[in-house]
Structures are given as C-alpha cells and as structure tokens.
Structure 1
Amino acid sequence: MDSVKFDYPESQPPVTTYQPVPPPPYAVAPPPPGLVSHLPSASVQTEERVVTIGTTASKFGPYSQNVFCPSCRQITATSIRYKTGVVTWLTSAGCFLLGGVIGCFLIPCCTDFTRDVEHSCVNCGLKVGLYRRI
C-alpha cells in the first residue's frame, strides 16, 4: 500500500481562554405586600398584629376540626351538633312522594348524613361555623 501523508498546517489557531464575567449586581426589592420576608431587614419595623374575628364559610365540614375561637382566644376542637336543614326536608319530601306515607319519610330527620352540622367551641360554647349540605 502506498503511504499517504496528510499535511497539517504547522500553526494552530490561537487558543482563547474563557474568563467568566461577574454577574450584574442585583437590587434587593422589598417583598410584595401581604408576604412576610424570612430575611431580617435593615430598617426598624413596627410589629402589626392582625386578628380575624369570624371565619369564612368555606372550611367547615361534617366532622369536628380545630379552629381558633375569637371568644376564648384558644385553638380548640369543635363540638358538633346536627340540625335539620334543606337536604333533610327535601329528602323527606321525596320519600313521602315515593310512598313513604306510613312514616318512612321521617327517616332523613333521624340520620346524620342528611342534616346540617353546627360547629361550636368546646371551651366557651360559641357557635363558630355551620356546614350546610346544600
């Protein structure tokens, strides 16, 4: 076989070294209103205490739960009491129309799964919420 000789240029391209550029300085912006920063601030802050009295009507369910009572100012479990509500009366009317004339239409008044749930504070007895089935 014939020997083939490859001609490479004797001079190589210049090698550039990479020198990292420092990042631009970042300005520290104050946190948006409503958020609490976990970093200490250089300025003196006054402490604000927000107390919410009452609750929104969205978080109560059919079971006992922990709540903050605005009357006794403690976090306690609620005691629950079942009350007849709209679902109870609609179910009773449906049973009556389907032939429950003998008294079977009163069964929804005796079951807990059709009745509304009233939440009260265990310590002071204040009504803190109501869970309605509808």
Structure 2
Amino acid sequence: MDKGQSPPPYPGPPMVQTNIPYQMQQGSYQTQPGPGVVYNQQPAILSTITQESQSTAPSQVTVVVLQPQLTDVSGAIKCLHCQQQIVTETKYIIGMSAWVSCIFIAALLLWPFCFIPLCLKSCKDVEHRCPNCKKVLHIYKRR
C-alpha cells in the first residue's frame, strides 16, 4: 500500500458510537453496589472456639493469637517467653537441605564442590531468637 492510497472500505454500515462520553469530569466515578468487605469481624475459627468455650463454661473465653510467619529475614513479633514486642535476631545454621545438596553434588562425582552448600546462606536454615531473653522463637527451614 502506497502512502497516497486509503485503506479498502469494509462491508457493512459505518460504526457510530453515540453512547461513549468523550469528556469525563473528574470525580464522576460511582461505587458499584455489591458485597462489601467487613474487617471488624472475628475469624470463623476464633468465633467457633469462643462459642464452644462459652457453651461449656460461660466465664471462660479462649483467645487464639496467630503469630506472623517468620522467613529468612528478621521480623517483628511478640516474644512468647518474655512477652515483649521485638525484632528477631537471625542466625544461619546448617540444616537438612544443605546436607542433602552436599551429598547430591558428591554423588555426581563433583566432590571438590560438594561443600559449597554448607557455606552459602541461601542453603542454610534460619534461627530466630529474641534479643531480650535469647530464646529460640522459630526455625525457618529451607526446602
């Protein structure tokens, strides 16, 4: 197709779009009706446990506290031993995945390189300790 030629005509009636507003005003968005998210409800597990404990002994209430999942970096958590809000100290320890990698590399007859997983932080497990009481709170195991 040369620059001077127009595209070939298409069969059918021309498309006229009359129902599309070309100039929208800012802030004219409307909220959609539908189920909203309520954040103040108790989880189903907690409410079930509370109802069971109230049916057996109305003066007792069971509270379930879920700790955040700790991974290979330090995390903010409430210590289970000293009850302080802390940021965990991490220490890398040689775990099962490092030993399995070491044995696998040795089985491939690459024995000069089999000790590399024992030196890499990415192959080691992570031990989380409380900086106040120095007790182990969690061990993050590599898979």
TM-score by length of 2: 0.53
**Which of 1 and 2 has higher RCO (CA within 8 Å, sep 6+)?**
1
Q: Quick one: percent identity of the two aligned structures?
A: 26
What do residues 58-116 of structure 1 show as CA deviations (whole Å, max 9, x unaligned)? 812111101110222111000011111121011101211223223x2111011110111
Aligned-partner SS, 1:34: helix
Inter-partner Cα distance in structure 1 for 2:79 and 2:133: 9
RMSD: 3.0
| Amino acid aligned to 1:99 | L
Aligned match of 1:114 in 120, 123, 133? 123
Amino acid at match of 1:73: Q
How is 1:29-48 mapped onto 2 (pairs within 5 angstroms)? 34=47
Other-structure match for 1:69:
79
> For residues 76 and 141 of structure 2, what CA distance do their matches in structure 1 show?
18
How far does residue 50 in structure 1 lie from its aligned partner after superposition?
A: 4.0
Deviations 1:34-65 (A, max 9, x none): 39xxxxxxxxxx8x68475xx77x81211110
Q: Which has the higher helix share?
A: 2
Matched, 1:82 2:82: no
1:127 aligned onto 2:136: yes
**Could you list the runs of 5+ residues in structure 1 that have no partner in the other structure?**
1-30, 36-45
Counterpart of 2:135, as a letter, is L
Please identify runs of 4+ aligned residues in structure 1 that moved more than 3 A: 48-52
In 1: Cα distance, 2:108 partner to 2:99 partner: 14
Could you tell me which residue of structure 2 aligns to residue 99 of structure 1?
A: 109
Distance 1:59 1:106 in 2: 30
State the alpha-carbon separation in 2 of the partners of residues 116 and 90 from structure 1: 13
TM-score, normalisation: structure 1: 0.56
Which of 1 and 2 has greater Rg? 1
Structure 2, unmatched stretches of 5+, are: 1-41, 49-58
